[in-house]
């Protein structure tokens, strides 16, 4: 049906409906666009697209378990993500893989020149690894956000409000051994800037602490000991501690198990032999136990007889042996008593004999003391008797009676003549 065939009332209603549908479609499109913009904004805010990001990089041996877009963790929080991974050139032999990542605001403020390191650790048992950074413990911030400029010492002395201007470099003495001032030290604390000129400094790199920018203005240069102007190509390098992936560890473990498997099989064979020997030993022990059963029964019987006082003595010494032992001990007691009596009498007789001998010797001693010439007479009598016998030996009638056979024995030394004690005392 053509539109001109409709009545004016229907045409009026149709135009109103078309306007309502148009407004509805327009409102729906606006809501859809608002929802899309809100989603994009919320996603960008959640992922930190609007935040300032500080670039860093590390060198790893391999890229196993890492990929671009993986989060960077610090203290259990997601503080950034990996932005790029590229192998080093073929002529570079010191490093293998360069991994670049960005740390978002405000977490890059935790990374300082001392104590901040990167760790590539295992994340799961499927070979996944994650990148983690540690907060600094000292030194200087890796990035600064203050405007920087290089001035001469004369210009530094003429700057207004020196308390807002701070150093952006390390200042050493002329010998290069003593650190005079550190970065972020106010110029007002440098009492004599001419001493810096004596140390060889003509220019100083300073920062205006009164004006803080939203993006990085300087990056720390460790070899030069100063902050340098930040560029898009500038990135700060962190030292890395890398651990192997779980798959590599498992492969190494499997290789070690394969090497140890023959020894394990040999050990199982030895265990089987030991078990068989143990079974034979137990069977032999059973036979020994059966053979020892009568001995155990006798031992039980003997121990049962020892269950009353004196049983051990009755068992070791039977009744008849006990009576014989009592008789023997009685006889021995009687013999000891008689022997004791006899010994007493013998001791008394011996005592009397010793007394008599003492009296005899004392009498003899008294006679010798009383008659001092008796020893001379006895000695002369013995000498005369010896001369008499020697004369008999030389007499022709009795010479044959004292004849001795000649031998090859050496001649005997004649004995010394007997002398009286007085002659010995005179000598």
DSSP string covering 202-258: -EEEEEETT---SS--EEEETTTTEEEE--TT--EE--EEE---HHHHHHHHHHHHH
Q: One digit per residue, pLDDT tens: the chain, 427 residues?
A: 455 566 776 667 777 888 888 899 999 999 999 999 999 888 887 777 778 899 999 999 988 889 999 999 999 999 999 999 999 999 989 999 999 999 998 999 999 999 999 999 888 777 789 999 999 999 999 999 999 999 888 788 778 877 888 889 988 877 778 888 889 888 877 655 666 766 677 888 999 988 888 889 999 999 989 999 999 899 999 999 988 766 666 677 777 777 777 777 777 888 888 888 888 888 788 777 777 778 777 777 767 666 655 555 565 656 666 677 777 878 877 877 777 787 788 778 777 877 887 777 777 777 767 776 676 777 788 888 888 777 777 766 666 666 666 555 555 556 666 566 666 665 5
pLDDT at 305: 63
pLDDT at 53: 92
pLDDT at 146: 93
Residue 144: both structure tokens together: 């600064």
- Phi/psi at 406 (nearest 5 deg)? -75, 135
Burial 102-134 (b: 16+ CB within 10 A, else e): bbbeebbebbbbeebebbbebbeeeebbbbbbb
DSSP string covering 42-69: HHHHHHTTTS-EEEEEEEES--TT--TT
Burial (0-12, 13-18, 19+ Cβ within 10 Å), 147: middle
- Helix ranges (H only) for 77-158 are 153-157
Please work out, in degrees rounded to the nearest 5, the angle formed at the alpha carbon of residue 111 by the alpha carbons of 108 and 112: 135
- Cα–Cα nearest to 98, from 112, 110, 84: 84
Judge whether 311 and 305 are in contact, CB under 8 Å.
yes
User: What pLDDT digit, counting tens, does each position of 262-315 carry?
Assistant: 777 777 888 888 888 888 888 788 777 777 778 777 777 767 666 655 555 565
Q: 3-state DSSP call for residue 140?
A: strand
- C-alpha radius of gyration, the chain, whole number: 65
Judge whether 72 and 101 are in contact, CB under 8 Å.
yes
pTM of the model: 0.53
- Cα–Cα nearest to 205, from 118, 130, 146, 117: 146
pLDDT at 293: 78
pLDDT at 316: 60
DSSP 32: H
Please work out, in degrees rounded to the nearest 5, the angle formed at the alpha carbon of residue 131 by the alpha carbons of 84 and 90: 45
The rounded distance, in Å, linking the Cα atoms of 375 and 381 is 10
pLDDT at 311: 58
- Phi/psi at 190 (nearest 5 deg)? -85, 95
The rounded distance, in Å, linking the Cα atoms of 136 and 372 is 125
pLDDT at 132: 95
Beta strand pairing call for 53-60 and 236-237: parallel
Residue 278: both structure tokens together: 């143990």
The rounded distance, in Å, linking the Cα atoms of 306 and 138 is 87
State the maximum Cα–Cα separation within the chain, in Å, rounded to a whole number: 217
Please work out, in degrees rounded to the nearest 5, the angle formed at the alpha carbon of residue 278 by the alpha carbons of 273 and 279: 100
What are the sequence ranges of the domains in the chain? 10-47, 146-212, 298-332
The rounded distance, in Å, linking the Cα atoms of 105 and 214 is 10
pLDDT at 396: 66
User: What pLDDT digit, counting tens, does each position of 260-273 carry?
Assistant: 777 777 778 888 88
The rounded distance, in Å, linking the Cα atoms of 105 and 112 is 14
pLDDT at 59: 95
DSSP 4: G
């Amino acid at each position: 049906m053509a539109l001109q065939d409709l009545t004016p009332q229907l045409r009026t209603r149709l135009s109103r409906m078309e306007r309502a549908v148009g407004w509805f479609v327009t409102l729906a499109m606006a809501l859809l666009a608002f929802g899309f913009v809100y989603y994009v904004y919320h996603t960008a805010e959640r992922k930190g697209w609007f935040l300032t990001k500080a670039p860093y990089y590390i060198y790893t041996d391999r890229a196993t378990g890492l990929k671009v877009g993986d989060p960077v963790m610090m203290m259990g929080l997601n503080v950034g993500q990996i932005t790029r991974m590229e192998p080093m050139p073929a002529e570079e032999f010191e490093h293998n893989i360069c991994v670049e990542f960005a740390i978002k605001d405000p977490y890059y403020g935790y990374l300082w020149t001392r104590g901040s390191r990167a760790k590539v650790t295992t994340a799961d048992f499927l070979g996944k690894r994650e990148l983690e950074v540690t907060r600094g413990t000292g030194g200087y911030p890796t990035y600064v956000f203050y405007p920087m400029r290089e001035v001469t010492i004369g210009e530094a002395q003429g700057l207004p409000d020196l308390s807002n201007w701070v150093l952006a470099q390390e200042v050493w003495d002329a010998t290069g051994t003593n650190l005079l001032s550190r970065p972020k030290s106010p110029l007002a604390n440098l009492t004599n800037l001419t001493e810096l000129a004596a140390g060889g400094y003509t220019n100083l790199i300073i920062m205006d602490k009164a004006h803080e920018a939203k993006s990085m203005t300087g990056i720390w240069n460790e070899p030069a000991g100063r902050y340098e102007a930040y560029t898009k190509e500038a990135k700060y390098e962190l030292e890395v501690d890398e651990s192997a992936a779980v798959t590599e560890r498992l492969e190494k473990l499997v290789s070690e198990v394969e090497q140890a498997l023959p020894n394990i099989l040999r050990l199982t064979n030895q265990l089987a032999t030991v078990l068989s020997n143990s079974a034979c030993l137990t069977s032999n022990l059973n036979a020994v136990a059966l053979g020892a059963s009568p001995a155990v029964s006798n031992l039980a019987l003997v121990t049962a007889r020892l269950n009353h006082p004196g049983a051990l003595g009755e068992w070791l010494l039977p009744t008849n042996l006990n009576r014989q032992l009592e008789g023997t001990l009685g006889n021995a007691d009687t013999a000891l008593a008689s022997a004791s009596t006899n010994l007493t009498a013998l001791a008394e007789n011996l005592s009397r004999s010793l007394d008599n001998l003492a009296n005899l010797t004392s009498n003899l001693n008294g006679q010798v003391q009383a008659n001092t010439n008796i020893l001379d007479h006895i000695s002369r009598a013995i000498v005369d008797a010896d001369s008499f016998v020697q004369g008999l030996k030389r007499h022709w009638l009795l010479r044959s009676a004292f004849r001795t056979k000649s031998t090859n024995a050496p001649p005997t030394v004649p004995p010394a003549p007997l002398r009286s004690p007085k002659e010995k005392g005179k000598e």
